[in-house]
Structure 1
Amino acid sequence: MEFFLSAIAWIFDPANYAAGSLSPLPIGDRIGEHLLYTLVAVLLASVVALPLGLFIGHTGRGRQFVIAFTGGMRALPTLGLLMALFVIIGMWAPFTITGVVASIVSLAVLAVPSTLAGAYSGVEAVDPVTVDAARANGMTEWQILTRVEVPLALPLIVGGLRASVLQVIATTVIASYIGLGGIGRIISSGIGLNDNDRILGGAILVTALALVVDGVFALVQRLLRGPGAVGAGRMRRERNISEQARVAV
């Protein structure tokens, strides 16, 4: 317990936030870098995964391939990919560019499976009756996707982004292995200095950051769901129960 309290005291030490602190401090800068890497990586993954997921969810094409693909991507070792990209890109680019590109691409690859799964499963979960009604009213496939399916699928789409962001936040610490910033730099410097307070303090900072971001996404999901969606979901469950009871009789 004393070890934990000592790490907490290190986190709240004003000296660790001073503008003139030596590397890897101040803490505020490292948190900002951590969030920046996460944001860029998830945005890059979203550019690839969201359109593909919406297409698959709307058309139903390639679903089995995506399931196999996302499963394989989840098993891909991010640290190994980072090191491989760092070596390959380093043959043609300067060191600073190599590190940033290798880190962002590795983290983006990590974020793709959850983002993709959230997009296609969200669109697939939309009630087919609603889609058929929109199609019967003369809406085009693009209008059905953008005006009907995507708004109804937003909670699950955000859920996929939420999982991706949490995975990237937890994994961004590996950027310190190739000399970049982020909270991982605090942890790696603590290992080098044999400073247990700094090591545990960095780990607590990563955990706290992930919990805060997760709370924000949970609130967004709750707002997107809304009372109407909750009521519709309850009515759909009650209808299913009634149908099951009628079949049983």
Structure 2
Amino acid sequence: MSLTDELGTYLGSANTRAQLWAALAEHCYLALLPILFGVVLAVGAGWLGQAWPPARGTLAVVANLVYTIPSLALFVVIPGVIGTTILDSINVVVALSLYTAALLVRPMLDALAAVPQAVTASATAMGYRPARRYFGVELPLAVPVIAAGVRVAAVSNISLVSVGALIGVGGLGRLFTDGFQREYYAPIVVGVVLTLLLALVVDLLLVLLRRVLTPWQRPTPTSRTDAEVAA
């Protein structure tokens, strides 16, 4: 049977399509929820780095060390740390939240350090307290750099979720393990295509979100030249 026939047979089943939707929904949950948690952790790390500059180096080193831990090892270790079972999906969420935060900490610190001193000094002179200045001035100016890091983290998470299938929790990753175990290529191909499409859609949504959050970076209509006015 050719691959095309395999795909037709595989996707022709209503039960299979229902399972694909369920796997896709689980994949979105496991990949996207950690982005939210990771951003919150990174924002907190940025606040600490701004409030206490000597901590910036330590935060960057810790983030690099966390990201070097193999994902499968982290999936297995976390249940023993937080008291969950090995098959609990929260293990993947926690692990990917840590990875997301680790990816975002350095860009966050660099972006905040790049905010012009004149801007922060002006905000302070206008009566902005440290917390209000951080969330109202410094953090918004760092959004373009942070958004680029979030896009990388999102694509990375969508890929890493599949590794969770090796411990029984992995969204679309289960299609890969199922296909390899049965030497059946249809679910593998479908899993790859759906993973790529999900990554593309999420990336496009993050680009749109960045544009919404950074209205000052939108191109403005150019004024007409003197020749156009005369014409």
Report the TM-score range of the alignment, normalised by the length of the smaller protein.
0.7 to 0.9
- What pairs with 1:27-176 in structure 2 (closer than 5 Å)? 27-57=20-50, 59-86=52-79, 88=80, 93-94=84-85, 96=87, 99-176=88-165
Q: Which residue in the other structure is 1:201 paired with?
A: 190
Q: Distance in 2 between matches of 1:123 and 1:66?
A: 14
Stretches (4+) displaced over 6 A? none
Listed as ranges, the gaps of 5+ residues in structure 1 are 232-249
Amino acid at match of 1:172: V
2:173 maps to 1:184: yes
Contact residue 211 and residue 217 of structure 2 kept, 8 A: no
Q: Decide whether aligned partners of structure 1 residues 40 and 11 sit closer, same or farther in structure 2, where only a CA change above 3 A counts.
A: farther
How many residues align? The count is 218
1:8-23 equivalences in 2 (<5 Å): 10=7, 15=12, 18=14, 20-21=15-16
**One-letter identity of the residue aligned with 1:34:** H
Query: How far off is 1:177 after superposition?
Result: 1.3
Aligned-residue offset at 1:60: 2.6
Q: CA RMSD in A?
A: 2.9
Give the whole-Å Cα distance in 2 for the aligned partners of 1:121 and 1:141.
18
What SS is found at the alignment partner of 1:182? coil
Offset of residue 130 of structure 1 = 1.0
Give the AA of the match of 1:51. Answer: G
Q: Look up the equivalent residue of 1:73 and give its one-letter code.
A: V
Preserved contact between residue 190 and residue 196 of structure 1 (Cα < 8 Å)? yes
Q: Residue 71 and residue 94 in structure 1: after superposition, are their counterparts in 2 closer, same or farther (change >3 A)?
A: closer
**Within 1, Cα distance between the matches of 2:8 and 2:170?**
17
Is this contact kept in 1: 2:173–2:191, CA < 8 A? yes
Q: For the structure 1 residues 10 and 58, does the alpha-carbon distance in structure 2 shift closer, same or farther, using more than 3 Å as the test? A: farther
For residues 53 and 212 of structure 2, the distance between their equivalents in structure 1, rounded to whole angstroms, comes to: 28
Aligned counterparts of 1:12 and 1:168: Cα–Cα separation in 2: 30
Q: Say whether the 8 Å CA contact 2:72–2:163 is kept in structure 1.
A: yes
Cα contact 1:11–1:201 (8 A) shared by 2: no
TM-score (norm 2): 0.80
Alignment-derived partner of residue 215 in structure 1: 204
Structure 1 residue 200: Cα displacement: 2.3
2-side partners of 1:156 and 1:139: how far apart? 23
Alignment correspondent of 2:223: none
Residue type of the alignment partner of 2:48: F
Deviation at 1:107, TM superposition (A): 1.6
Q: Displacement, 1:11?
A: 8.4
* Equivalent-residue separation in structure 1 for 2:67 and 2:146 (angstroms): 18
